[in-house]
Amino acid sequence: MLRRGLVSCLSRVGAVLVLVCCSLSLLYVITCSPHTDDSLTGPQLPRTGPAGSPGGHGVLSGAPQGPSGGRENYQALLQEREEQHRQHISSLKKQIAQLKEALQERGEPIKGEKESPEKGGERQAGAAAIEERSHTDLQEFLRSQLSRAEVHSGVRLPSEYSVVPFESFTLQRVYQLEMGLTRHPEEKPVRKDRRDEINEVLESALQTLNTPNLSRDRTASKVYSPADFIEGIARTEKDKGTLYDLSFRGEQPQQFRRLVLYRPFGPLMKVSDERVQTQYTLINIILPLSHRADKFRHFMHNFREVCIKQDGRVHLTVVYFGRDQISEVRGTLENTSRELNFQNFTLIQLNEEFSRGRGLDVGARAWKGGNVLLFFCDVDIIFTSDFLNTCRLNTQPGKKVFYPVLFSQFNPAVIYGSSEHVPPVEQQLVIKKDTGFWRDFGFGMTCQYRSDFINIGGFDVDIKGWGGEDVHLYRKYLHSNLLVIRAPSRGLFHLWHEKHCADELPPDQYKMCMQSKAMNEASHGQLGMLLFRHEIEAHLRKQKQRSAAKKP
C-alpha cells in the first residue's frame, strides 16, 4: 500500500511539473516572439512611404524586405539598447562606490568621537589651541611693527630729507605740510575717510581716558569729552603704521593728559597714557639780537601779552651783539620789568660780530638754574600761549626734541594791494594759501632741554653770519637716538621783513639767502600776477577802449 501511494504521489508531481514547463514555454513564445504589425510597444522603427503616398506604411529604409529583415533589425536595436543600459549601470555602480567611500571617510571621525569622547575633546582643544596661536602670532606681529616704528626712541637718519614730518590737527582743522590740488596749509578734512579716521582716533582716546583704572588715583572723577581735546599730531610710516600723539586738558589747571596711540595697519593700539604736569615747567626763550631795536619793541609787545599776562612761566635771555642800540634794548626790558613787575630776564652783551649760533649757544650755557626747557627764537617771531604748551608737551629730556614748522607771512604790501591797506599785525595771523606758507625748510625755531643741547654738542660756533647753524644742530639730533618731533604749529608765525643778503657771505650762504628772500615775497600765483602786470594792464586798457567805442 505504501509503494502504491508513493508511486501515485510521484506521478502527480511529475504531471504538475510537466504542466508548469508547458505553461512557461507557451508564455516565453508569446512574450518573446517578434511582431511585424504597427502595434509594437517597443521603440518605433523609422518608416518611409513610397513616392506619392506620404504617410503610408512601407518597408524599412535600406533593409531587406520581408519578415526576416524586420526581425534582424529589431534584434540589432535591442542589442544596442542593452549595451547602453550596461554602460549606464556600470557608471552608476562607480558613483555609488565613490559615495560609499566618501561617506565612510566622513563617518570615521564621527564614529571615533562617539566611541571616544576624550578624543573628541582633544580635537576641540587642538582647534582652540590653533586659534589661540593665530591670535598670538597676530599680536606678536603688531608688537613687532610697534617696536620697529619711531615711537619709543628715535631712529638715526642720514639727513633732514629723511624725516617723516607730523601733521597737527584740532577738532576742526588739519595743519599739513604736503600740498596738492585741493590741499591747503590749514583746512577742514575734505575727504570722508580722513574725517572718519580722526573721529575714530578721538573716540578710542576718550574711551581709554574714561575707562576706570585701578592703578590710578581712584578719586579722579573727571569725565573727558571732545571739548577737552587740545590738539594732536600724527604721521604715517608707510611700511609700519600711523602714530597719534594726543593732548587733553587734565583734572587740574596746567595739567594735561597725553595719550599715544598706534595703528600698525590694523586695529588701534594704546602705547602710553600719562598725566603731564606743566605747572612748574619753565621755558627759557633765547633771543640773539643785533641792532633792530624797533623790531625788539614789537617783539616785547607780544611777549608781554602772551608770556607775562597769560602764561607766566617764561624766562627771557637776550644775547646782544655790539654796542649800537644796546641802550634802547635795555630800556625796553627795564620798562617791561617796572610796569609789569617782571624780573625773569637776562641781558648778555657780546662785543663780537653777529652770529646767531654763537648767541644761542652763549644764552643756553649761561643758564645756571638746572635743566631748563629752551626755546630758540628770533626777533621777528610771534607765538601764542597755546604754542608754549605745545613746546612743553612735545619735549622730554633725554628722549624728545621739538622742531615746529612755523607759518611764514608773505609781504603784506603784496597780499593787501598796498602798504596803506595793511591791517594790524594781530589780524594778519591767518593761515591761508595766499597769506603765507609753512616754512618747512627752516630749522631755527626749536624746543629742547638744556641737557640735550649740551650733550649733543651745541651749535657750530665757527659759522658766521646768516644761516647754516640751525641745520647743523638739526642733523646732530637726527644722527642721535632722540625722537625729533617735526610738525606744523598753528601758534607760531614768522612776520615778514625785507631781507638783505650781504655781499660778504660765501656763495652757498648767499644763494640760500636769496632763495629765502624770493619765497617770502608772495605765493606763486601772486608773483605771476606781478610778473605779468604790464600785460594785464594793457588788456584792461583795451577792454576799456572797446567799451567806450560801443557807447552811442
**Which amino acid, 346?**
T
pLDDT digits (tens, 9 = 90+) for 34-83: 444 443 344 443 443 433 443 444 433 344 444 455 667 777 777 777 77
CA distance 365 to 483: 22
- 379 and 258 fall within a common domain: no
Can you give the pLDDT at residue 221?
72
Q: How confident is the model at residue 313 (pLDDT cuts 50, 70, 90)?
A: very high
- Of 232, 253, 276, the last residue of a domain is 276
- 524 and 397 fall within a common domain: yes
Can you give the pLDDT at residue 378?
95
Lowest-confidence range among 145-159, 221-235, 474-488?
145-159
Note whether residue 96 is domain-resident. no
- 355 and 436 fall within a common domain: yes
Can you give the pLDDT at residue 22?
66
- 493 and 436 fall within a common domain: yes
Q: How confident is the model at residue 455 (pLDDT cuts 50, 70, 90)?
A: very high
On the question of pLDDT at 495 being above 70, the answer is yes
Can you give the pLDDT at residue 11?
66
Note whether residue 464 is domain-resident. yes
**Which amino acid, 89?**
I
- 229 and 264 fall within a common domain: yes
CA distance 245 to 454: 27
Cβ contacts of 233 within 8 Å, gap of 6 or more: 166, 167, 168, 169, 244, 245, 394, 485, 487
For the chain, the average pLDDT equals: 80
- 262 and 406 fall within a common domain: no
Please give the average per-residue pLDDT across 191-220, as a whole number. 80
Instruction: Please check whether residue 379 is in contact with residue 292, taking contact to mean a CB–CB distance below 8 angstroms.
Output: yes
- Give the pTM: 0.62
Burial bucket for residue 470 (CB in 10 Å: 0-12, 13-18, 19+): buried
Note whether residue 311 is domain-resident. yes
- 241 and 301 fall within a common domain: no
Can you give the pLDDT at residue 187?
77
Note whether residue 543 is domain-resident. no
C-alpha cell at 196: 572718519
Q: Tell me the percentage of the chain whose pLDDT exceeds 70.
A: 75
Cβ contacts of 236 within 8 Å, gap of 6 or more: 164, 242, 243
C-alpha cell at 512: 640760500
Can you give the pLDDT at residue 263?
87
Q: How confident is the model at residue 88 (pLDDT cuts 50, 70, 90)?
A: confident
- 402 and 323 fall within a common domain: yes
Please give the average per-residue pLDDT across 190-197, as a whole number. 80
Q: Helix (H, G, I), strand (E, B), or coil: what is residue 461?
A: coil
- 406 and 263 fall within a common domain: no
pLDDT digits (tens, 9 = 90+) for 318-367: 999 999 999 999 999 999 999 999 999 999 999 998 889 999 999 999 99
Note whether residue 378 is domain-resident. yes
Instruction: Please check whether residue 234 is in contact with residue 167, taking contact to mean a CB–CB distance below 8 angstroms.
Output: yes
Can you give the pLDDT at residue 46?
41
Lowest-confidence range among 29-33, 401-405, 541-545?
29-33
Please give the average per-residue pLDDT across 190-214, as a whole number. 85
pLDDT digits (tens, 9 = 90+) for 290-307: 988 999 999 999 999 999
On the question of pLDDT at 519 being above 90, the answer is no
Note whether residue 394 is domain-resident. yes
Number of structural domains in the chain: 2
Please give the average per-residue pLDDT across 17-42, as a whole number. 54
412: domain CATH number? 3.90.550.10
Quote the DSSP letter at residue 546.
H
Q: Tell me the percentage of the chain whose pLDDT exceeds 90.
A: 36
Residue closest to 454 by CA, chosen among 354, 350, 390, 370 = 370
Can you give the pLDDT at residue 134?
62
Please give the average per-residue pLDDT across 269-281, as a whole number. 90
Please give the average per-residue pLDDT across 438-448, as a whole number. 91
CA distance 462 to 470: 13
Q: Provide DSSP, 314-362.
A: EEEEEEEESSTTHHHHHHHHHHHHHHHT---EEEEEE-S--BHHHHHHH
Cβ contacts of 213 within 8 Å, gap of 6 or more: none
pLDDT digits (tens, 9 = 90+) for 214-261: 555 555 678 999 999 999 999 888 878 899 999 999 988 889 999 999
- 371 and 508 fall within a common domain: yes
Which has more pLDDT, 523 or 203?
A: 203
**Which structural domain, as residue segments, surrounds residue 245?**
160-211+223-276
Note whether residue 200 is domain-resident. yes
Burial bucket for residue 101 (CB in 10 Å: 0-12, 13-18, 19+): exposed
Instruction: Please check whether residue 223 is in contact with residue 215, taking contact to mean a CB–CB distance below 8 angstroms.
Output: no
On the question of pLDDT at 523 being above 50, the answer is yes
- 402 and 510 fall within a common domain: yes
Note whether residue 457 is domain-resident. yes
CA distance 365 to 357: 12
- 259 and 290 fall within a common domain: no
